[in-house]
């Protein structure tokens, strides 16, 4: 087994912040429970916003690999709930799965158009088809059925995982979490036989030793949590 490099982890107790690898800063106080729309409108603190699902993996990786800190223990504890990022999915049975970070909210609902999203897919990046800025990813129908238990060696190559988390680099962070904590990764989805917009989430089951990525729930589903993020390079 290869040696896992632990991320630089600095706990700022007074301000309840976690500084990671000299770039990302997270608040360790979970926001929730709420539905997706409540999390989008929530106050994460001055300069902080809702992270994408991909960015959440940075926080989870750091906390699961640095469990001795009080703040990381809080994050791991909340990981047993539905952790949700600012990421949504438009699933089309005929085409496949479109994944979008920071989706538009119109009339209090997520607004995603196949026509608009399809036009923006222009290249392959880190193993997934995506838009120029990487905020929109696409998985063709036929590759969307890689569900259930995933072998660790295949986690960073799974097409759905690559699209959800923006490429193999962030997917490997999930692999490191599972290796370090002896967890089995699962990809779960309810049967979707029509075009639908859903919001993915992930959670950790300490009792079953599982890390579950779910792509089935509607945005209205309650019991979701998230954490505030700030990019120190823009501060």
Percent of the chain at pLDDT exceeding 70: 89
Q: Which of 95-104, 119-128, 220-229 has the lowest mean pLDDT?
A: 119-128
Structure confidence at residue 116 as a pLDDT band (50, 70, 90):
very high
- The tokens for 2 are 């290869």
CA atoms within 13 A on the CB side of 35: 11
* 24 vs 59: CA distance, rounded Å: 9
Q: What is the mean pLDDT of residues 43-72?
A: 93
Q: Give residues with Cβ within 8 angstroms of 182, minimum separation 6.
A: 209
Write down the mean pLDDT value for the chain: 88
Q: Are 36 and 45 in contact (CB under 8 A)?
A: no
- Residues β-bridged to residue 198: 89
What pTM was computed for the model? Answer: 0.89
From CA 235, how far away is CA 231, in angstroms rounded?
Answer: 7
pLDDT value at 235 more than 60: no
For 119, residues 6+ apart whose C-beta sits below 8 A from its C-beta are: none
Dump pLDDT digits (tens) for 30-39: 999 999 999 9
Residue 37, classed as helix, strand or coil, is helix
**Using one digit for the tens of pLDDT, what is the confidence trace for 168-206?**
899 999 999 999 999 999 998 766 678 899 999 999 999
Residue indicated by tokens 């940075």: 58
What is the mean predicted confidence (pLDDT) over 205-210? 94
> Which string of b and e fits 124-163 if b means at least 16 CB within 10 Å?
ebbbbbbbeeebbbbbeeeebeeeeebeeeebbebbbbbb
Point out the least confidently predicted range of 68-72, 134-138, 142-146, 229-233: 142-146
Q: List Cβ neighbours of 138 (8 Å cut-off, separation of 6 or more).
A: 96, 97, 98, 99, 117, 118, 121, 128, 129, 130, 163
């Amino acid at each position: 087994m290869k040696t896992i490099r632990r991320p630089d982890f600095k706990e700022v107790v007074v301000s309840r912040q976690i500084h990671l690898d000299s770039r990302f800063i997270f608040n360790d106080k979970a926001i929730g429970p709420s539905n997706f729309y409540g999390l989008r409108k929530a106050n994460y603190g001055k300069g902080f916003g809702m992270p994408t699902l991909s960015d959440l993996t940075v926080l989870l990786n750091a906390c699961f690999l640095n469990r001795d800190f009080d703040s990381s223990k809080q994050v791991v504890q909340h990981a047993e709930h539905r952790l949700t990022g600012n990421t949504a999915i438009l699933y089309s049975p005929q085409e496949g799965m479109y994944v979008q970070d920071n989706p538009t909210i119109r009339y209090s609902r997520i607004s995603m158009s196949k026509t608009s999203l399809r036009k923006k897919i222009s290249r392959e990046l880190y193993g997934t088809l995506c838009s120029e800025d990487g905020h929109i990813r696409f998985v063709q129908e036929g590759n969307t059925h890689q569900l259930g238990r995933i072998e660790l060696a295949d986690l960073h190559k799974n097409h759905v995982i690559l699209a959800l988390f923006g490429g193999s680099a962030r997917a490997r962070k999930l692999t490191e979490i599972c290796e370090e904590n002896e967890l089995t990764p699962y990809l779960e989805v309810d049967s979707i036989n029509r075009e639908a917009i859903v919001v993915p989430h992930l959670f950790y089951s300490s009792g079953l030793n599982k890390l579950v990525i779910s792509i089935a729930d509607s945005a209205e589903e309650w019991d979701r949590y998230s954490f505030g993020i700030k990019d120190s390079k823009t501060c």
